[in-house]
Structure formats: structure tokens, C-alpha cells
A and B are shown apart, each in its own frame.
Chain A
């Protein structure tokens, strides 16, 4: 029983982290329908930039996070205006090819600049163990779960309550009508993309402080994030959380009771089953959209 509780706790924590690293993709893939294969590289950039500003520029973790967010906001905005804008409304293919090219470019350019070594980001809290009954956690992990919850809530409020959020929803439901209603849709697209990049990069920096960061991690992060977004349903923040938790707990139980050697297979099997039996995800925002 104690072991089960520990597995469950592990699953919930990693599940929250999966949700966190997929949030950016929820916006960019879920809402904007850009199948963004560079998502993992945005995450990686967050980690590597975070390492750079904290260990080379001597910033503390939070100021570093703000700097990284600002840089990545500008970066995301530019990517949208310069690249994505030109293939908008042409189906998935050009977007996929464009983001695959972007991911190859980013991963290898980062390799040239930051080197191949894994890097450590100093977190704001120690990684000392915290015992909750039979369950072991660390302060940093509890903190990360809290930040994760805050980010998810913040993003949710932004979309539901603010003017920008309303413009976003309008634009993704019907770009033509939104434009007629005086919404500058190009700006909305770019802001959404920038927001997605911020979320991906913040996740990269936060989790980099718990694990470590390396320029070559992008591919794995992208795959897991796609799994989470598909599980949760496209474009739904609540769904992303559920998707992340489902994936995290399923992996922890599989790893705990079956084998840790092929734990990555769990997510893909769940995706296949979900798409066969509930093709639009567990919590699709699709119903609102059409």
C-alpha cells in the first residue's frame, strides 16, 4: 500500500510536470492548429537560457525566469510574424515542415552556442527530501507543482477574462468574423504564439532546476507534449491537466508494477486507444468551436 501511494504521488507530480510542459503546445497546437514540432526546442531554449542568465549573468532564479520569459515572448512573436503567418490557413503540412526545419535549426544552433554538456540550473529551493507519511517528495517539487498550478490558472484566466483572451477565442472560432468585428487577428495570433512560447520556456527552466537541461532534449519533450494535448483534447487547459495526470499516473503504475524499461510505450498506447474510442480527446474544446 505504501508503495502504491508512492507510485501515485510520483505519477501525480510527473503528471503535473507533463501538463506544465504541454501548456504551450495546448495554445499553439490545440488552439492555433499549428502542429508545432519545435515545441520541445522552445522548452529547451527556456532551460538553456535559464542556465545562462542564472549561472553566467548571476541573476537569481525569479529574475532569471522573467528575463527568459521576456526573451521568449519576443522570440515567439517573431516566429509567428516571420514564419507561421506565411503558411496560416494552408492546412497542417507547411506548418509541420516549417516547425521541423525550425526545430533542427534551433537544436543544432543551440548545440553550437551552448555546447553539448548537460547544465544545472540553481533552483530557488533545496532538493532536500520531504516526508509525507510513506511518501517522499522534495520542497522543489512541491514548489514546482504550485507554480504549475498558478501558471495553468493564470493562462486560463487570461483566456476567459481578459480582452486579449476574448479576442483570442473569437479569432480561433471564426477569424473572418473576428476581423470584421475589428479584431486585429494577426496580432492575436502572434500574441498567442508568444504566450505559448513563454509557457514552454518557463516549463523548461523550472524543470531544468529539478532535473537538468541539455540542448538535445527537445524531441522527447515534443512527443510527450503531443500525447498530453491529444489526451486532454485540443485547446483545453483543463484537458491538458487531466491528460498530463493520466499520463503521469499510468506511467508510474506501469513502471512500478510492470517494467521501467519500456515505460514510454504507455503514452502512445493511450493515445491510440483514445483516438480510436474517443477521437476528439477526453475534454475537447471542439464542441465550442464548430
Chain B
């Protein structure tokens, strides 16, 4: 009996991989950080991508074939991501790439995609100038900090009645971008800047920063930080007895974040491109499916992976072939209904039209205060036409 099971296992292993090698699937390459300090977010992205593929394959796949995700660990490092991209393109013969999370890693694989003339879509990398490199194979289905800041500056200024704001960001391209864009747009609404400070990723003790914050005279604090750093920072902010309006960007509208921060999370605001509590039937179906699969609600990275993969599969379907040029043309004409609104691309490959939400955490739930549609960046759109 045991021998039989073993034989079966071997058979599945051998034939399973043989089947996978045969050319009856359409392969999409995914590069995400699965080890290292941002692995937490990379893993969520992969979960979203897998769910999208599963749903699609159940519904008959693309062009009559099932989709196969080939997932590689890029560790958010430029060199490793390039290794992964070369492998996916040359060895696995993927028809399109999705990745590579950190803007630095994405910037490193963009020339690779261009060299091999293969479409590359990132659902996460937010550094503004990525879409300005004139790389015709590059698309981004993510908000940039500039777009998010533009969308929310007015709402924040009016709803929170702020006069003087302190800015705190994680010391990387994303954190610096968030702080710069938000301080620019909030200043335009007449809000003074009380202080600007950065901290290194992985920092655990923020008391010194908070002592400075307390004496800065700000009535609100903007924070650009991800789950790990952000949760500790917000928790210590309340420990420290600081009573300011807290708002920020990052993966905050999630159960993990709220659970880590505890009571201190109550009342804080987050500007996010996605929250599980967004209204709409499309989102409810997505949240239910995700929850059934992974026993937790999706966060913004899960949604990013889900959307990016769906956009790619959708484009391949409309292209009617796996030819890279045709997929690229189809991507340009994207018109995709996501759980968080509608995705289209500008001529530069920047997505617009989808919703972003301002949420406030109330009774351990991210409550949607306002949603707004992310508009095409004016300058870019003008240049594109």
C-alpha cells in the first residue's frame, strides 16, 4: 500500500513536471521578493496573483489554454531580479513578466524586458520616473506617490483641518517619494511643514524621533511606512502620549497591521489604493474568494498582484496570441474592471482611472471615508498625445 502511494508520488512528480514542460500552458513570469526584509509584502502579492490565475483557469483559461505562473524570488535586489528575469525569459519562455516589487529591482529588469521585447507590468513599484524612461514594453498598474498625493491632499486638508504637519518616512525611494509628494501637495493647500525626518528600514525604537515630533508643534503627522516599521511607529506614538492626527501611506488597512498596533490604531487615517472594505460587488467577490483561500482579507499588495495578473491575462486573451508585440498592443488598450475600480493606461504605460481610498481605522476595521478616482497625470497624458 505504502509502496503504491510512493510509486504514485514519483509518477506525479515525473509526469507532472513533464506535463508542465509541454507547450500546452501559457506562462507568465512573476518576480517578487520571497526572502529578505520585504518578503511579507511579496508573499501577499504572490497570493493575489495565484488567486487570479486559479479563477481564470477555472473559467477556461486564456486562448483555450491554462495559465501557468512561473514565480521567481528576486529578493528586491537588482542583480538577483535580473538573474530571475533572464531565466524566466530565456529558459521558461514566459510570454510576459510581472514584478519586481522594489522600484530599484524593477528599474534593473526594465532594460532586460526591452532588450528581449517582452511586456513587463509592475503592480507595485511606485517611483514616479519609471514610466518616463520611454520604455515601450513597460506598464505600471500601481499608483505613484504623486498621484495619491494629488488625489488626497484636498480631502485631507479639509477633513482633518490641519495647519501644520510633520513628515516621517522610511529611508528608501518609496518613503522619500511619499514624503516629498505629500508635503508638496499639502503645502499647496496652505499647510505648513513642521519637520521632515527619515528612519532606516528595520528600526525598532522611535522614541527619539517622537520626542522631536512632540516639540515640533505639528497638529498632524504624515507617515510613509510599511507594516513592520509603521506598526511599531504608530504604537509607540500612542505610548509616548502624542495626540495628533495620524495619517499616511502604506499597507495599513489590513488585519495584520491593526492587530500589531492594537488599540493605538483607532482613529488613524491611511491613503491606500485598496482596502478590503471598499464598497462594490466586484470587491466583495474578490474578498470572499481571497478569504476562502488564505483565511485573511486581502491587503493592497494582494490586490496589486491580483490586478496585475488579471490585466496581463486579459491582454493575452484580447491579443489573441502569445506574440509579445500583440500583447503589448493589447495592454495599451486595457480596460479592466478591478475590485478597486477601472484600469486604463496612458501612452507612457501608467495606469489611471482606478480608485484610491482614504480609510480611517474604527473598531479594528478600516472604514472608507472617501474614495476618489486616480486621474491620468496631466503632464504625462499631454506628452503622450
Instruction: Let me know if chains A and B touch directly in the complex, using CB atoms closer than 8 Å.
Output: yes
The interface of chain A, by Cβ under 8 A from chain B, is 3, 6-7, 10-11, 13-14, 17, 107-108, 111, 115-120, 127-129, 131, 136, 138, 207, 211-212, 214, 216-217, 220, 251-252, 255-256, 259-264
Q: In the assembled complex, how far is the CB of residue B57 from the closest CB belonging to chain A, in whole angstroms?
A: 26
If A120-B260, A129-B240 touch, does A212 touch B208 (CB 8 Å cutoff)? no
Instruction: Find out whether the CB atom of A216 lies under 8 angstroms from the CB atom of B39.
Output: yes
Closest to A214 in B: B228
User: Can you report 23 residue pairs joining A to B where beta carbons are below 8 Å apart?
Assistant: A6-B207, A10-B211, A13-B207, A14-B205, A17-B205, A116-B43, A117-B227, A117-B256, A118-B228, A120-B260, A129-B240, A129-B241, A136-B207, A211-B232, A212-B260, A216-B37, A252-B208, A256-B212, A260-B208, A260-B212, A263-B199, A263-B200, A263-B203
Q: In the assembled complex, how far is the CB of residue A225 from the closest CB belonging to chain B, in whole angstroms?
A: 14
**Max count, chain A CB within 10 A of own CB: residue among B199, B207, B228, B240:** B207
**For residue A255, which residues in chain B have a CB less than 8 angstroms away from its CB?**
208-209
Closest to B256 in A: A117
If A7-B211, A261-B198 touch, does A136 touch B36 (CB 8 Å cutoff)? no
Question: In the docked arrangement, what's the CA distance between A251 and B199, Å?
Answer: 12
Per the 8 Å Cβ criterion, residues 236-271 of B in contact with A are 239-241, 256, 259-260, 262
Count residues on chain B whose CB falls below 8 Å from chain A CBs.
34
Instruction: Find out whether the CB atom of A212 lies under 8 angstroms from the CB atom of B197.
Output: no
Question: In the docked arrangement, what's the CA distance between A17 and B204, Å?
Answer: 11
Which secondary structure characterizes the binding site on chain B? helix
**For residue B116, which residues in chain A have a CB less than 8 angstroms away from its CB?**
none
Inter-chain contact total with CB atoms closer than 8 Å = 95
For B180-212 the 0/1 string (1 means CB < 8 A from A) is 000000000000000001111011110111011
The interface of chain B, by Cβ under 8 A from chain A, is 35-37, 39-40, 42-43, 171, 197-200, 202-205, 207-209, 211-212, 215, 227-228, 231-232, 235, 239-241, 256, 259-260, 262
Question: In the docked arrangement, what's the CA distance between A103 and B31, Å?
Answer: 24
Question: In the docked arrangement, what's the CA distance between A115 and B204, Å?
Answer: 20
**For residue B36, which residues in chain A have a CB less than 8 angstroms away from its CB?**
216
Q: In the assembled complex, how far is the CB of residue A103 from the closest CB belonging to chain B, in whole angstroms?
A: 12
If A128-B239, A136-B241, A211-B205 touch, does A118 touch B211 (CB 8 Å cutoff)? no
**For residue A7, which residues in chain B have a CB less than 8 angstroms away from its CB?**
208, 211
Task: Identify A261's interface contact among B171, B215, B228, CB under 8 A.
Answer: B171
Task: Identify B211's interface contact among A3, A116, A131, A212, CB under 8 A.
Answer: A3
Question: In the docked arrangement, what's the CA distance between A49 and B266, Å?
Answer: 29
Question: In the docked arrangement, what's the CA distance between A135 and B43, Å?
Answer: 40
Instruction: Find out whether the CB atom of B205 lies under 8 angstroms from the CB atom of A111.
Output: no
Task: Identify A118's interface contact among B40, B171, B203, B209, CB under 8 A.
Answer: B40
**Max count, chain A CB within 10 A of own CB: residue among B202, B204, B240:** B204
